Chains A and B, each alone.
Chain A
Amino acid sequence: MPAIVVLVKHVPDTWSRKTLEADHTLDRDNVDSVIDEINEFAMEQALQLRDDNPDAGYRVIALTMGPAGADETLRKALAMGADDAVHLTDDALAGSDLLGTTWALTNAINTIDDVALIVTGNASSDGAMGALPGILAEYRQLPALTGVRSVKLQGTIVTGVRETAEGRYELSAQLPAIISVTDKAPKPRFPNFKGLMAAKKFEITVLDTAAIGVDPGQVGLAHAATAVTGATQRPERTAGDVIGGADAPVAAGKIADYLAEEKFL
């Protein structure tokens, strides 16, 4: 049965305060982590493609790479309706850069049979790199429909719509392919009680670098092609004057005075 693989990521909650450790990696201990919201859109898209094409018999498989605890994100994906889940975890992977991360992920995908489509979010909320789909596309020699808001499968063709500041593109490529979806894609479903209970008990496949045939020397912080060498916290903005209770013309006059003072008028 052909597979739709969804890449999901466990990230710090956008609402929590993120800080860096002494080695400039993210302090993951003192921050609440959740499934990256954009991955829920990726999951939803994959589930819809599976359900809209019952004859093709797609299986949706969620895949994540990350430390113990990242399996929570896979359980969320299972609760939404994923058929299977794979957790790639190994201390050797800690601190991997984008190339190392993608190399590990593509080897983990190689353990899955008959991959027709790989679905990702357009960019994670913590790293905000957005280059992963492009790297994965080259490693796997596949076409990529990145940053799309709607996707359809017709036989062996995948089509999608991408909206940018320049305009609206209708795109088409042959399967197998990679797609990355934006948060303008269909809204993610909420897991129901049955889904949540089944996800809790589900036996997630756990892989380490040996299982995917990746040499620890090709991944991890020590082998990264990019390195963060320094970090400074931006000074907090402070509140300025607040005008309350003034009539509209008076308030407007004060704003105009300020704009003139700052030479915007």
Chain B
Amino acid sequence: MSTVYVLVEHDGSQVAPVTAELITAARPLGAVTAVVVGIPGVTDTLKAALAEAGAEVIVAAESADTHRRYLLPQVDALHALAAHNPGPIVVAAGAAGNEIAGRLAARLASGVLCDVVGINADRTASQSVFGDQVQVAAAVGGACPIYTLRPGAVEPAPVAGAGAVTTLELPGVTAKDVAVTGFSLARRGKRPDLTTAKVVIAAGRGIGSQENMALAEELADALGGAVGVTRDIVDLDYYDGAYQIGQTGVTVAPDLYIGLGVSGAIQHTSGMQTAKKIVVINNDDDAPIFQIADLGVVGDLHEVVPALIAEINSRK
């Protein structure tokens, strides 16, 4: 059976949820080889979870300096493996995944499909473009086609694999290297990851103030969801840019999206309109968001949201 390479996303102690999605999406292409890049010992910590998710082979590409280098160790590892034994490569879409995919496409002279939402056994893939208005079927050539998979697009379906560990020696630093001179971990708290959350509470300009972001957070916690924001909220400095939904932020497709004071500008809706159910609360009944909502409430969110939180908690 042919081999497909998956780049493992992890934080050094845990496998990130998107990794199970990558393995599930890659499985139709062949036996999954999960590639772990990190400091020595990290593969030992992650191997049980990777085998459980479906890795047949686990490659430990470990080196003491990987956390001080940016992306090139990941590119070097996947390049070495695919150059030796060609096969498709699947990585998570995002700023890092896009650069990794681009460098690999150039090195392996293979095509690259970014932000796919599904991969088929014949190596074709589907993409959702123009703000998720059009679903596109795409074919890709080359011995090692590269896909970046949109987080949250594929439901993980773990099928345990053998998880046999092999090691790969990483090449050293070159002139192409970018050094990491500082890193501070984002404070995420207990909420689920925005891109893979089943429930997303989004705040727009109508939230009114930075303090009121607590309303969105409390509602998210009552429903076990994640918090997202529109670009306005990031520009106003009410919330961190990592939580921006839409054209220049992340794309979400949760089972439930609740918009609080979100007007529905296309730059935002292009990142959320494939949500299964959309509920909105906005005091402006002309807001375009009502046109795509399954349930809309015209009212003051500062009154409705606390009442809703109380109602949810009383029904639990």
Report if A163 contacts B (CB, 8 A): yes
Report if A211 contacts B (CB, 8 A): no
Mark the stretch among A43-51, A122-130, A199-207 that contacts chain B: A122-130
B139 x A168 contact (CB < 8 A):
no
Chain B residues with Cβ below 8 Å from A15 are 266
Report if A1 contacts B (CB, 8 A): no
B106 x A170 contact (CB < 8 A):
no
Whether A256 contacts B102 in the complex (CB less than 8 A), given A122-B95, A234-B135, A243-B297, comes out as: no
Chain A residues with Cβ below 8 Å from B141 are 225-227
Whether A244 contacts B285 in the complex (CB less than 8 A), given A142-B176, A170-B180, comes out as: yes
Report if A230 contacts B (CB, 8 A): yes
Instruction: Say whether chain A's binding surface is mostly helix, strand, loop, or mixed.
Output: mixed
B140 x A131 contact (CB < 8 A):
no
In the complex, chain A residues 111-144 whose Cβ is within 8 Å of any chain B Cβ: 122-123, 125-126, 128-139, 141-144
Report if A231 contacts B (CB, 8 A): yes
Report if A30 contacts B (CB, 8 A): no
Report if A197 contacts B (CB, 8 A): no
Report if A189 contacts B (CB, 8 A): no
Report if B159 contacts A (CB, 8 A): no
The residue on A at minimum CB distance from B175 is: A174
Q: How far is the CB of A57 from chain B (nearest CB, A)?
A: 24
Complex Cα–Cα for A135 and B111 (A)? 11
B111 x A226 contact (CB < 8 A):
yes
Mark the stretch among A64-72, A85-93, A245-253 that contacts chain B: A245-253
B180 x A226 contact (CB < 8 A):
no
Report if A258 contacts B (CB, 8 A): yes
Report if A209 contacts B (CB, 8 A): no
Chain A residues with Cβ below 8 Å from B177 are 143, 173
A131 x B101 contact (CB < 8 A):
yes
Report if A194 contacts B (CB, 8 A): no
Complex Cα–Cα for A15 and B11 (A)? 38
A233 x B134 contact (CB < 8 A):
yes
| Per-residue A-contact encoding for B252-292, CB less than 8 Å = 1, 0 else | 00011000000000110010011001110100010000111
Q: How far is the CB of A11 from chain B (nearest CB, A)?
A: 11
| Per-residue B-contact encoding for A146-169, CB less than 8 Å = 1, 0 else | 110100000000010011111111
In the complex, chain A residues 217-265 whose Cβ is within 8 Å of any chain B Cβ: 224-234, 237, 239-246, 248-249, 251-256, 258-260, 262, 264-265
Please tell me which one of the listed residues A14, A145, A228, A264 contacts residue B199 in the complex, with CB atoms under 8 A apart.
A264
Report if B296 contacts A (CB, 8 A): yes
> Which residues in B have some Cβ–Cβ distance to A below 8 Å?
11, 70, 94-96, 98-107, 109-115, 124, 128-142, 148, 175-186, 188, 193-195, 199, 223, 231, 234, 240-242, 247-248, 250, 255-256, 266-267, 270, 273-274, 277-279, 281, 285, 290-300, 303-308, 310-312, 315-316
Closest 4 CB pairs of A and B: A134-B102, A225-B111, A147-B95, A138-B106
